[in-house]
Amino acid sequence: MDKVRQIRLAKDAMDRDWADPELDLGAVAAHAGYSRYHFLRAFKEAYGETPGQYLTHRRIERAEEMLRAADLSVTEICHLVGFSSLGTFSARFKTRTGLTPSEYRSKNVGRGAALIPGCYAMLWAGGFPPRRTARKAAKRTATSEKRPHPAAAYGDKEQPPDDRRAEP
């Protein structure tokens, strides 16, 4: 496979999976079959910016759309577009657009269609992406453990306690 086609496959993966916060240089380079640093140089040579800069621009473009059209908080939009830090998102957004996300929304809301309710926007976007870190997957929580006995859970075939508040 030629060099340009391999790099284009990796760029297509970034275009497709831009909202995945786990998308990193190693994963994108694997799509192209390159090492991380060789891919970084080849991508910059082909597109004039690093893969990280390209991915950040894609995420900011999506955030601009959501800020104009969806009734979601800036924090919700930050996480939906793949940023894990609100501070980083706001700083990168301001660097790219010259405005903070809140300023951008106030200047651009009302242009075009009415805001989409946040619940519909979240449904359309698939909600918040699940966290897929190995350390958190290995961590046991109360909800991930099964009950030790097959006894009835609260409300399963139990009689409600007598409510004696109404009695004299």
**pTM listed for this prediction:** 0.63
> pLDDT at residue 143 above 50?
no
Q: How confident is the model at residue 23 (pLDDT cuts 50, 70, 90)?
A: confident
Q: How confident is the model at residue 61 (pLDDT cuts 50, 70, 90)?
A: very high
Q: Which residues pair with 22 in a beta bridge?
A: none
Tokens of 19: 């909202």
Q: What is the mean pLDDT of residues 16-31?
A: 86
> pLDDT at residue 92 above 60?
yes
pLDDT of the residue at 4: 85
pLDDT of the residue at 51: 93
Q: How confident is the model at residue 139 (pLDDT cuts 50, 70, 90)?
A: very low
CA angle 126, 102, 100 (to 5 degrees): 105
- 139, containing H or E segment: none
pLDDT of the residue at 79: 92
Q: What is the mean pLDDT of residues 85-109?
A: 93
> pLDDT at residue 162 above 60?
no
Q: How confident is the model at residue 1 (pLDDT cuts 50, 70, 90)?
A: low
> pLDDT at residue 152 above 90?
no
Q: What is the mean pLDDT of residues 131-148?
A: 44
Helix (H, G, I), strand (E, B) or coil at 70: strand
